[in-house]
Structure 1
């Protein structure tokens, strides 16, 4: 009896939490089908019209995708290309660094790792100006290189993978070395397959970070044709009028890839987060 009551209580709490988290997303998605004058008309009352449109329209999506001055599909393509490129390079370089710190022995490894991890306490805003000056000296301002290169190496990514790589038995790696495998072969054939959940977790986090990036693209990109998604959505707000219908439609479209990515890779994401924090 007590067990049934406990399970019922947990289910009710989970349903309540799910409702709280899903309600804003549902309001955003359904609100994108409202005409401009109806979006906030029923926001102060709690009834079916608060969530569901009275008058359904696709005008917000038409304005979003058929505006030649601000081609939203181009912004999606830019963001997708940058996010995918950063994710691929981040998985390669950060996993190599994490493998070296976790499994290889070299002088001053502990000291270097401590200094490297200490960068986690430095806010990104502090390095914004030096990174911008570096990009300017390279001549990369207003180019995709300025969006991609500074985002590839991540201290958090290396830290996450080091925790996971540390769980791989060293005897397995030593056996491969005795059989004549190089460190690169060990990394490719043993470490990467064993670390698939952590790599998927890192891929999701990296892709999501780039997909939602706002401040850095706003600083280094002024060419509208090269702009990123979140900056483009923010441009729908101006001094004369905020295009809420268009913003809700853009937010809904930009949320779909992330929701699909997490839905298909949720198992690996949870497993990677859980296992990377387990020691011993």
Structure 2
């Protein structure tokens, strides 16, 4: 029975993995096809569904070297914004989570409850207030509008707080007795103990900002400062949608995320697993 259960488990996992990877394979295959061939084999079940008949790199060339839609610049903009936001999220939210987990101050429970209540508010509800706030500060059409509203993550505070709470208070008290300041305790004792959840939060934050579409579309009007997902959507216009270029651009935009996850997947899985156990 144990062997049969293992066979069933791995079979289900394999089927789910194949189902998950099929759209990615079709995206890569479509990016290598001429537009005329793109949907020609979409309803067939032969190998041409994933293998181009006339493979070409013209779609990638037109996307990368498009003067009216400079895709490389959009990638650089997105890397810059996503990287800055990720660093700020790790810094700000780790300190906030540590305060909620280990420090004592009046009204801590009430403030934390208010933070947690923000998790049930859909992001679309705050679009108009955030836009008006950015307009009031004069940050529209600047990277400030993309970075500063994203530097606080309620989920990130909740995630890290669970791990900080598991650090024994005796270790922190011993460090205080030895003369360590609170910043020294935080940087030398607390942060090294929560590396997996920090990397998990970093990956989730980077991916969220890399895939961000609606907020950059609203607050950024300068094409030179635009983000990658808005740039991909620009290949669709009133004249028609060039799906070959969209698939090529989507393939290019997927590569950095795959590389990042490839190197950090062990920490990501460890952080998710540990959060499930400790939560």
- Cα offset, 1:9, TM superposition: 2.2
- Cα offset, 1:241, TM superposition: 1.5
Matches within 5 A, 1:168-247: 168-247=167-246
* Residue 145 of structure 2 corresponds to residue 159 of structure 1: no
Range with greater deviation from structure 2 (255-264 or 70-79)? 255-264
- Cα offset, 1:259, TM superposition: 1.2
Q: How many residues align?
A: 279
Unaligned runs of 5+ in 1: none
The equivalent of 1:132 in structure 2 is 131
Range with greater deviation from structure 2 (34-43 or 257-266)? 257-266
- Cα offset, 1:271, TM superposition: 1.2
- Cα offset, 1:278, TM superposition: 2.8
Return the alpha-carbon distance in structure 1 between the equivalents of residues 275 and 90 of structure 2.
16
Aligned 8 A contact 1:87 1:207 in 2: yes
SS of alignment partner, residue 277 of structure 1? helix
Deviation digits for residues 3-48 of structure 1, max 9, x if unmatched?
3333222222221111100111011011100000111101111110
Instruction: Write out the 4+ residue segments of structure 1 that deviate beyond 6 Å after TM superposition.
Output: none
Cα RMSD of the aligned pairs, angstroms, is 1.1
Instruction: Give the TM-score normalised by structure 1.
Output: 0.97
SS of alignment partner, residue 237 of structure 2? coil
Return the alpha-carbon distance in structure 1 between the equivalents of residues 49 and 193 of structure 2.
48
* Residue 261 of structure 2 corresponds to residue 278 of structure 1: no
Deviation digits for residues 150-190 of structure 1, max 9, x if unmatched?
00011111111111111111111111111111111111001
Return the alpha-carbon distance in structure 1 between the equivalents of residues 124 and 163 of structure 2.
29
